[in-house]
Structure 1
């Protein structure tokens, strides 16, 4: 599965290893990720695609607020 905007991914390397994030954008081998808590929408983390593992779930809709990102990730972690 490829990584696109709205994908839920798990970090495979770095300080964020094993944490889940939502992809805000993809650009030439990098993804911009946020979790709504430590990595907020205003300042997403730029991470190489090879350091991310897709979680086979894509959020279909606009991503506009940090509480919305938290809700998306909580629903994913709780099996929703």
Structure 2
């Protein structure tokens, strides 16, 4: 399964089931690090198995660019981007 930094995913297993995250790091072909800027801050991401995530086609370009260039990403940026994604999905866009 191809995943990218900055891609939006939804947890389908574990305590955080139903929460949306961004992929903040890729460990290997089975594990990634996810952050939501709130409970899972960028400094302390959650290591999740890819098979426990619903992978969306949504990629947050601004965060992807920063993550690929090793530029600091703030938790506020992550929260704002995820809020916009959630708002768009609720409005049916």
Q: Normalising by structure 1, what TM-score?
A: 0.92
Gaps of 5+ in 1: none
Gaps of 5+ in 2: 68-72
Task: State the number of aligned residues.
Answer: 80
Q: Hey, what does 2:60 align to over in structure 1? A: 59
Q: Secondary structure at the match of 2:5?
A: coil
User: Is the Cα contact below 8 Å between 1:2 and 1:54 reproduced in 2?
Assistant: no
Q: Secondary structure at the match of 2:61?
A: coil
How far off is 1:2 after superposition? 2.6
Superposed CA deviations along residues 1-39 of structure 1, whole A, max 9, x for unmatched, are 732101000001001101000100112111100100100
Structure 1 or 2, whichever has the larger Rg, is 2
Q: Hey, what does 2:70 align to over in structure 1? A: none
The yes-or-no answer on 1:45 pairing with 2:53 is no
Superposition RMSD in Å: 1.5
* Distance of 2:2 and 2:17 partners within structure 1: 19
Q: Secondary structure at the match of 1:76?
A: helix
